[in-house]
Amino acid sequence: MNEPRDPMRAAQASTRQPAVKRFYKKAELREVAGGGFELTLDGRPARTPGKNRLAAASRALMAGVAEEWARQGDTLDPADMPVTRLLNSAIDGVARTMDETRAELARYAGSDLLCYRAETPETLAERQRLAFDPVLAWAAEALGARFNLAAGVVHVAQPPEAIAAVRVALDAVDDPAALAALSVITNLTGSALLALAVQRGALGAETAWAAAHVDEDFQNERWGVDDEAQVRRAARWREMEAAARVLAATRGP
């Protein structure tokens, strides 16, 4: 199946910076006149790599950002600041390309992981059914999107109505941070439907992550775990968890 390009790539490329020594004592949250919250470092507004203010509408989101900066040691560790990095990408990139990002995510739905099933072995096929079918049922009920299934990896065309329904759901996401988080989860899992289920609060991050790794976990059980692959997976999970926290913060009560 054909996978669309990563809609976050350009934005994230601009946020990659070498580790630097900690240059501040206090990282704090401050309310902004007119609404929203920003990160301050020793009382001064923090900036993104693109020189924009590091701020968002959600207090909970910015509290998470402030916590990441406050816990840093003598040297800043970007890997330990996944929410900050995601918000940087949202502010510097996604905020300017909202329609493009939505379009790319809708394209992902056209080749969604959940629609491609193994025929054998039956154990794997059953695990896929148990993990994938409830999410597809949710998409049909909550989004009005009904998808076709395919055996193997041969691309299957999806009903235009299903893709249109996903696009409606994406169009309703008007917070750049939330849309950036949706993009992160979609790219990590290979499924726009899993991402939307997490965004709507219908699925927890752990459950979505497990569904996305049914095939990998099955192979690991049969052939063993590769240590380097596990390290990479742990790093990807940190990104997934951070994106889910961003979605929860921007979803509100």
Q: What is the pLDDT of residues 212-222, one digit of tens each?
A: 999 999 999 99
pLDDT in tens, 66-94: 999 999 999 999 999 999 999 999 999 99
86, 181 Cβ separation under 8 angstroms: yes
- Whether 205 has a pLDDT exceeding 50, the answer reads yes
Q: Is residue 35 located within the same domain as residue 115?
A: no
Q: How far is CA 26 from the centre of its chain?
A: 29
User: Would you say residue 3 lies in a domain?
Assistant: no
Tokens of 188: 């990590």
Q: Is residue 139 located within the same domain as residue 14?
A: no
Q: Is residue 136 located within the same domain as residue 76?
A: no
Q: Is residue 84 located within the same domain as residue 127?
A: no
Mean pLDDT score, 187-201? 97
Domain CATH for 118? 1.10.3580.10
Domain count, the chain: 2
Q: Is residue 110 located within the same domain as residue 209?
A: yes
Domain CATH for 46? 3.30.2180.10
User: Could you list the residue range(s) of the whole structural domain that residue 37 is in?
Assistant: 9-95
User: Would you say residue 187 lies in a domain?
Assistant: yes
Predicted structure pTM score: 0.90
Cβ neighbours for 135, distance < 8 A, ≥ 6 positions apart:
114, 191, 193, 194, 197, 203, 211
Backbone angles phi, psi at 20, to 5 degrees: -130, 160
Of 57, 80, 95, the position where a domain reaches its end is 95
User: Would you say residue 160 lies in a domain?
Assistant: yes
User: Would you say residue 4 lies in a domain?
Assistant: no
Among 29, 84, 87, 88, smallest CA distance to 59 is for: 29
CA 209/CA 189 separation, integer angstroms = 7
**pLDDT value of position 14:** 45
Q: Is residue 111 located within the same domain as residue 75?
A: no
Question: What is the rounded average pLDDT for all residues in the chain?
Answer: 92
Tokens of 156: 């299957």
Of 44, 71, 95, the position where a domain reaches its end is 95
**pLDDT value of position 16:** 54
Amino acid letter, 193:
L
Of 60, 95, 130, the position where a domain reaches its end is 95
Mean pLDDT score, 177-191? 98
Q: Is residue 73 located within the same domain as residue 142?
A: no
Mean pLDDT score, 178-204? 98
